[in-house]
Amino acid sequence: MDIDAVKDALAAQAIEVPSWAYGNSGTRFKVFGSPGTPRDPFEKIADAAQVNLFTGAAPRVSLHIPWDRVDDLAALAQYARDLGVEIGTINSNVFQDDDYRLGSLTNADAAIRAKAVAHHLECLDVMRETGSRDLKIWLPDGTNYPGQDSIRARQDRLADGLAEIYAALRPDERLLLEYKFFEPYFYTTDVPDWGTSLVHCLELGDQAMVVLDTGHHAPGTNIEFIVAQLLRLDRLGAFDFNSRFYADDDLIVGAADPFQLFRIMHEIVQAGALDPAVGVNFMLDQCHNIEDKIPGQIRSIMNVQEATAKALLVDADALADAQVAGDVLGANAILMDAYATDVRPLVAQVREEKGLDPDPMRAYAASGYAERIAAERVGGQQASWGA
């Protein structure tokens, strides 16, 4: 085990954070607000920059359009750079306009489909104004009742719409297509699984990649298998990290099943996909319903770092030997030994060597930032999923 290589890998790891995590979000039953919540995209960026300031591992912020629409996007991007972060992935939104009640790219109405395509072309413009490479499409489209619409026709409309959007990509841009098991529709979902996302990406071309959100699977799904499969096919474009016990709970990544997160990172490490050149964008996508948002994000970054550290500590040679030898318990033990290791000191050391406080949670709490924004951000409308 080359511990310096492990530390270098940890030091280089970058996790993208979502602008919307700093606004209010919640369940269909209630969205709880909290003091200091950002009221505009600039304040969201400012909060995101705090996460990077204390972790040194969150150098990019994803935007959500139209939530993060501002008149001067270049100014927003410059504001971000001034705070030490870049604009990352641009996320489209086709679920909050009344027109999309029965679907956007898959809607039976051609005018609504055209509107949805146009929205994505607008997102491409945002990418170019903000220096972003990736357009991420999470398509909420689906149906609630058997017979409501034709499954097949919707797939064909989807293929057509994606083709229009893909045709507008520049050579260095990517289209990332996310899948989700269910919600906000409850009978069919038009991109419900990695297979469907892959089928459309294959049809589109090499710049189309699959997004894996860790909360978007059927109960019991082996997520690391999908990770390994998509890496094998060179089609894993990005992660949306979060965790869940039941459905798309959007809890802090690693909170519900830290062992699963470790297994996922193990596949990443084994495939060499921590290397940015492989093209996997590691992003968070969470809702902080009841916990503080900035600390919630910091904790999330730490959880990914610790899972990654454990994955880097797996003795790959010994593991491969045991696997080839058919030593079931031995191979499992090698993996579990890495998992059982307490990597908190190692990750803390990596932080210190970057000039950071070894304990980002404590350091953020001591910084007074939370109290400052609570005092300053009075009046206005707190940002939320709906605004």
Of the candidates 32, 128, 275, 317, which one interacts with its own copies according to CB under 8 A? 32
CB count in 10 Å sphere of residue 354: 12
Single out the segment in contact with its own copies by CB under 8 A; choices: 42-50, 63-71, 79-87, 262-270: 262-270
Q: Per-residue contact track with its own copies, 42 to 81, x per CB under 8 A?
A: ----------------------------------------
State which of positions 275-304 bind its own copies (CB under 8 A).
289-292, 295-296, 299
Q: Which of 201, 202, 200, 197 is nearest to 213 (CA)?
A: 197
Asked if residues 18 and 283 have their Cβ atoms less than 8 Å apart, the reply is yes
State which of positions 165-224 bind its own copies (CB under 8 A).
181-184, 186-189, 192-196, 198-199, 202, 217-222, 224
Distance CA 106, CA 119 (A): 14
- Which residue, 95 or 369, is less far from its own copies as judged by CB? 95
Lookup result for tokens 């491969």: 320
Q: How far is the CB of 245 from its own copies (least distance, A)?
A: 5
Angle at alpha carbon of residue 326, lines to 323 and 331, rounded to 5°: 45
> Does position 27 bind its own copies by CB under 8 A?
yes
Size of the site for its own copies (CB under 8 A): 106
State which of positions 238-257 bind its own copies (CB under 8 A).
244-247, 249, 251-252, 255-257
- Which residue, 12 or 186, is less far from its own copies as judged by CB? 186
- Which residue, 247 or 375, is less far from its own copies as judged by CB? 247
> Does position 25 bind its own copies by CB under 8 A?
yes
Of the candidates 108, 163, 348, 356, which one interacts with its own copies according to CB under 8 A? 108
Which are the contacts of 249, defined by CB distance < 8 A and separation ≥ 6?
215, 242, 243, 256
CB count in 10 Å sphere of residue 183: 14
Q: How far is the CB of 112 from its own copies (least distance, A)?
A: 10
Give Cα 156 distance to the centre of its chain: 27
> Does position 160 bind its own copies by CB under 8 A?
no
Lookup result for tokens 């909060």: 47
- Which residue, 74 or 151, is less far from its own copies as judged by CB? 151
Of the candidates 4, 71, 152, 355, which one interacts with its own copies according to CB under 8 A? 152
C-alpha dihedral (74, 80, 84, 86), degrees to nearest 10: -70
Asked if residues 10 and 41 have their Cβ atoms less than 8 Å apart, the reply is no
Lookup result for tokens 């017979």: 147
196 Ramachandran zone, left/alpha/beta (phi>0; psi -120 to 50): alpha
State which of positions 336-365 bind its own copies (CB under 8 A).
336, 339-344, 361
State which of positions 315-334 bind its own copies (CB under 8 A).
319-320, 322-326, 328-329, 331-334
DSSP class per residue in 143-182: ESSTTSS-HHHHHHHHHHHHHHHHHT--TT-EEEEE--SS
